[in-house]
Chain A
Amino acid sequence: MNKSTLLFFSAITAFTFSNCGGGEKSEEIETGDSVKTEEPKVNPVSETFFQVPSPGEMLTFIKMVGGKNNKNTTFLNSPANEKNYTDNKSKSINFGIYSCDLSYCSIFGIGSESLKYFKTVKTMGDQIGVSTAIKPEVLKRLESNIGVSDSLAVITDDVYFSSFEALEDSKQGPTLALVVAGGWLESIFIATNLAKFEEKSPVVERLADQKYTLENLVEFLKKHESDANVASVKADFEGLLAEFNKISEKDVTATASGKEGDKTAMLGGGKQLFITKEVYETIVGKIKTLRNSYTLTK
Chain B
Amino acid sequence: MKYFITLFIVAVISSSLFSQAGVCGNFHKKYCVLGNDKGAKWQYNAQSKSGLFNQGMVSKLRCVIYKGMDYRISVCCETVLGDKVSYKIFDSRTNELLFDNSTSEDTQSFEFQSVSTRQLIIEVVVPQGATEKDKHKATDAACVGLLIEHKITDKQGFSAY
Q: What residues of chain A have their CB less than 8 Å away from a CB belonging to chain B?
A: 3-4, 7-8, 11-12, 15, 19-21, 25-26, 28-29, 32-35, 37, 41, 43-44, 46-54, 57, 61, 64-65, 157, 160-161, 164-165, 168-169, 202, 206, 209, 212-213, 215-216, 219, 252, 254, 263-273
* With contact pairs A50-B62, A53-B64 given, residues A25 and B138 touching in the complex (Cβ less than 8 Å): yes
Quote the shortest CB–CB distance from B50 to chain A (angstroms).
10
Partner of B114, one of A34, A49, A52, A270: A270
User: Contacts of B98 on A, CB cut-off 8 Å?
Assistant: 267
User: Contacts of B2 on A, CB cut-off 8 Å?
Assistant: 4
* With contact pairs A11-B10, A161-B44 given, residues A271 and B57 touching in the complex (Cβ less than 8 Å): no
Q: Closest A residue to B139 by CB, please name it.
A: A21
Evaluate contact between A271 and B138: CB separation under 8 angstroms: no
Evaluate contact between B10 and A252: CB separation under 8 angstroms: no
Evaluate contact between B66 and A12: CB separation under 8 angstroms: no
Partner of B21, one of A7, A8, A19, A265: A19
- A37 and B158 CA atoms in complex are apart in Å by 47
User: Contacts of B128 on A, CB cut-off 8 Å?
Assistant: 37, 41
Quote the shortest CB–CB distance from B105 to chain A (angstroms).
14
User: Contacts of B119 on A, CB cut-off 8 Å?
Assistant: 212, 215-216
Evaluate contact between A12 and B13: CB separation under 8 angstroms: yes
Partner of B135, one of A12, A34, A57, A252: A34
Quote the shortest CB–CB distance from B19 to chain A (angstroms).
10
- A71 and B55 CA atoms in complex are apart in Å by 52
Evaluate contact between B56 and A44: CB separation under 8 angstroms: yes
Quote the shortest CB–CB distance from A288 to chain B (angstroms).
23
Partner of A271, one of B44, B60, B116, B140: B116
User: Contacts of A4 on B, CB cut-off 8 Å?
Assistant: 2-3, 6
Evaluate contact between B138 and A29: CB separation under 8 angstroms: yes
- A25 and B140 CA atoms in complex are apart in Å by 9
Tell me the B109-125 residues at the A interface (CB within 8 Å): 110-119, 121
Evaluate contact between B62 and A3: CB separation under 8 angstroms: no
The reply to whether the CB of B102 lies closer than 8 angstroms to some CB of chain A is no
Evaluate contact between B64 and A213: CB separation under 8 angstroms: yes
- Chain B interface, number of residues (Cβ within 8 angstroms): 68
Q: Closest A residue to B136 by CB, please name it.
A: A29
User: Contacts of B117 on A, CB cut-off 8 Å?
Assistant: 209, 212, 270, 273
14 extra interface residue pairs, beta carbon distance < 8 Å, beyond A48-B61, A53-B46, A270-B118: A20-B138, A21-B138, A43-B56, A46-B59, A48-B59, A54-B46, A64-B152, A160-B46, A212-B118, A216-B63, A219-B62, A254-B116, A265-B112, A267-B98
- A266 and B69 CA atoms in complex are apart in Å by 11
Q: Closest B residue to A265 by CB, please name it.
A: B112
- A56 and B137 CA atoms in complex are apart in Å by 41
A and B contact pairs by CB, cutoff 8 A, 12 listed: A44-B56, A46-B58, A157-B44, A202-B161, A215-B119, A254-B115, A265-B99, A266-B113, A266-B115, A267-B112, A269-B94, A270-B117
Evaluate contact between A51 and B47: CB separation under 8 angstroms: yes
Quote the shortest CB–CB distance from B23 to chain A (angstroms).
6
* With contact pairs A35-B131, A35-B132, A202-B161 given, residues A53 and B47 touching in the complex (Cβ less than 8 Å): yes
Partner of B14, one of A11, A32, A64: A11
User: Contacts of A169 on B, CB cut-off 8 Å?
Assistant: 23, 25
Partner of B49, one of A3, A32, A46, A49: A49
User: Contacts of B138 on A, CB cut-off 8 Å?
Assistant: 20-21, 25-26, 28-29
The 7 closest A-B pairs by CB, nearest first: A21-B138, A270-B116, A51-B47, A54-B46, A11-B10, A209-B117, A48-B60
Evaluate contact between A264 and B111: CB separation under 8 angstroms: yes
A-facing mask of B1-30, CB < 8 A → 1, else 0? Answer: 011001101100110011001010110000
Partner of B63, one of A11, A21, A51, A160: A51
Evaluate contact between A264 and B25: CB separation under 8 angstroms: no
Evaluate contact between A8 and B25: CB separation under 8 angstroms: no
User: Contacts of B157 on A, CB cut-off 8 Å?
Assistant: 264
Q: Closest B residue to A211 by CB, please name it.
A: B117
User: Contacts of B64 on A, CB cut-off 8 Å?
Assistant: 51-53, 209, 212-213, 216
Quote the shortest CB–CB distance from A163 to chain B (angstroms).
11
User: Contacts of A54 on B, CB cut-off 8 Å?
Assistant: 45-46
